[in-house]
Structure 1
Amino acid sequence: MKAPRPIPGYAKQPLHPLLRIYAVGLALTQRRYRRSRWPVAGTRELPPLTTYDRQTPLVDLPILSLDTEATGIDPQHDRIVSIAAVNLSSGRLHLGLMLDMLVNPRRAIPSNVTRIHGITDRHVRNAPHFVDLAGMLEKRLGGYVLLGHNIHFDAALLHHEMRRAGRDWQMPPLLDTMLLFAALYPQAETLSLDHVAKRLRISLIGRHTARGDALIALDLYYRLLPHLAARDILTLGRAEEASAAALARLRRRHRDLNSDAYDL
């Protein structure tokens, strides 16, 4: 398995003097793009889970930001090769308890997919299979709202992996930063994580890794919260309604674009 990597922007790491000079230069050239700086919890223990419903304010939700990397983009047939999750509880980020692991998909990883996330068959050769992780993951996910950019894809991957592992996993509520951004900016031409992060001036360090994308989604959420509040989207229920309306609008746009193509 991969060795743990430092998390830029969230924890101070000792640097070689030459690397420190490079880091300062990089910070100056990319000063517009930075971490959103959730307060980091000083303890390695999570606070007790709080109950929530659709009336719970977004800022009070127990959240698990989750991302996966897979063998492809078909959630029904492709397999997870990496998964990361970090807790946001009581307004604090629990980095010390972050989940970040490789998973053996029991199949070859296509080379065109490896070019995106960098994970090869060699990296996952000795990693655990999903069936051996299912119980731990089911317990870890329980009681949280799942957050991510296009989190419905990751949740669908998990759903099918859990079914293969013989588990009846009940999907929790989802907060999708992609749909929340679409609700706030209905005229946006693209909703990719790269585009949205740059639009909100968020660092893309760690992009295309499960851990990096999970942290970027948390940064997006941090930046989106005041804009959502300005639109009176303050609770889980209102966020779900806004996301559903944005998804319906995107589907109509996609349908109209396809119709236009046939009219040419």
Structure 2
Amino acid sequence: MALRWLSRLMDRATLGDKSYDFLFEPGPPDEVVSVDCETTGLDPRRDEIISVAAIRIRGDRILSSRSFTAVARPRVAIAAEAIKVHGLREIDVARARPMSEILPGLLHYVGGRPLVGYYIDFDIAMLNNHVTEMLGVQLPNPRIEVSSIYYERKYGDAPPGAQIDLTFATILRDLKLPLFNQHDAFSDALMTAMIYLSLKDLRARGVRIPRARTRSAVDHHGM
């Protein structure tokens, strides 16, 4: 915690464009932003964003009608395997704006609010490639990882050797939430926002997610 605070302090001091100092200020109380990116591949060192969505959450409301969405034109080719996942081809992004033009609007939309995501570190790493180019620093926003909250609610008291499943579809199913068109940035951000609110409610009420009993546990109980 102390190292992160010190890093934020140093980044704020070296911020390349002081008009973005607002990123280091806390966002409105009880507001977070669900974020998702679709990319040219899975290597943050060389791949780039081709689609990004951000949706504000205020209290227990998802402000989907005020979302931020954009398709971006990357500087690298889209990997064939990535196209199979999200369906975005070179022709689909050829006339889109580059991330350098999209990023200012996204940063003003997000502000200093915490960022919510499913494996959020990857999305932030992809965003930081462009933030660092523009501002010389990385995003200072706090991160909220929904799979970690889900793990705590379902597996926090699990015995050693318990089978762990943190897949997106399983989380949605356990929380009785709908599965939309996955690997679309807006749909993924929206589903992640719903997951976040469901888990937040469970945690506030002290409710755990039930686990299927293993056969050994069932057999032991029956003896």
What interval of TM-score do these two structures reach, taking the shorter chain for normalisation?
0.7 to 0.9
Instruction: Mark the CA change 1:188 to 1:173 in structure 2 (over 3 Å): closer, same or farther.
Output: farther
Q: Which of 140, 145, 150 is matched with 1:176 structurally?
A: 145
Contact 2:37 2:49 in 1 (8 A): yes
Partner residue of 1:105 out of 58, 74, 88: 74
User: Does structure 1 residue 145 correspond to structure 2 residue 114?
Assistant: yes
**Aligned residue number for residue 16 of structure 2:** none
| Per-residue deviation, residues 10-35 of structure 1 (Å, max 9, x unmatched) | xxxxxxxxxxxxxxxxxxxxxxxxxx
Q: CA RMSD in A?
A: 2.4
Provide the residue aligned with 1:70 in structure 2: 39
Separation of aligned partners in 1, 2:82 and 2:95? 20
**In structure 2, how many angstroms separate the alpha carbons of the residues matched to 1:115 and 1:170?**
30
1:111 aligned partner, one-letter code: A
Structure 1 Cα separation of the partners of residues 51 and 26 of structure 2: 29
The answer as to whether partners of 1:103 and 1:130 remain within 8 angstroms in 2 is yes
* Separation in 2, partners of 1:74, 1:102: 19
For structure 1, which segment, 179-188 or 102-111, has the greater mean C-alpha deviation from structure 2 after superposition? 179-188
- Cα deviation, residue 182, structure 1: 1.1
Q: Residue type matched to 2:178 in 1?
A: S
Which residue is 2:169 aligned to?
A: 194
Partner residue in 2 for 1:40:
none
Change (3 A) 1:52 1:107: closer
Give 3-state SS (helix, strand or coil) of 2:67's partner.
strand
- State yes or no: 1:204 paired with 2:179: yes
The answer on 1:222 being equivalent to 2:191 is: no
2:124 aligned residue (155, 162, 165): 155
In structure 2, distance between residues paired with 1:167 and 1:142 = 17
Query: Structure 1 pair 205/122, CA: closer, same or farther in 2 (3 Å)?
Result: same
CA distance in 2, matches of 1:222, 1:96: 17
Query: For 1:19-98, what aligned pairs fall within 5 Å after superposition?
Result: 61-98=30-67
Question: Secondary structure, in 3 states, of the residue corresponding to 1:107?
Answer: coil
Q: Number of residue pairs matched?
A: 178
Alignment deviations for residues 100-156 of structure 1 (CA, whole Å, 9 cap, x no partner): 111111121111110100111011101111111222222222121111111111111
Is 1:114 the counterpart of 2:80 in the alignment?
Answer: no
Percent identity for Structure 1 against Structure 2: 24
Deviations 1:191-225 (A, max 9, x none): 12122112222111121100000010111112212
Structure 1: distance between partners of 2:97 and 2:199: 36
Rounded to whole Å, the distance in 1 between the matches of 2:57 and 2:133 is 29
Shift of 1:87: 0.9
Q: CA deviation at 1:63?
A: 0.9
Question: Cα distance 1:64–1:106, how it changes in 2: closer, same or farther (>3 A)?
Answer: same
- Unaligned ranges ≥5, structure 1: 1-50, 233-264
Cα distance in 2 for residues equivalent to 1:188 and 1:207: 24
Instruction: Say if 1:123 and 1:203 are closer, same or farther in 2 by CA, change over 3 A.
Output: same
After TM superposition, the score normalised by the length of structure 1 is 0.62
TM-score, normalised by the number of residues in structure 2:
0.72
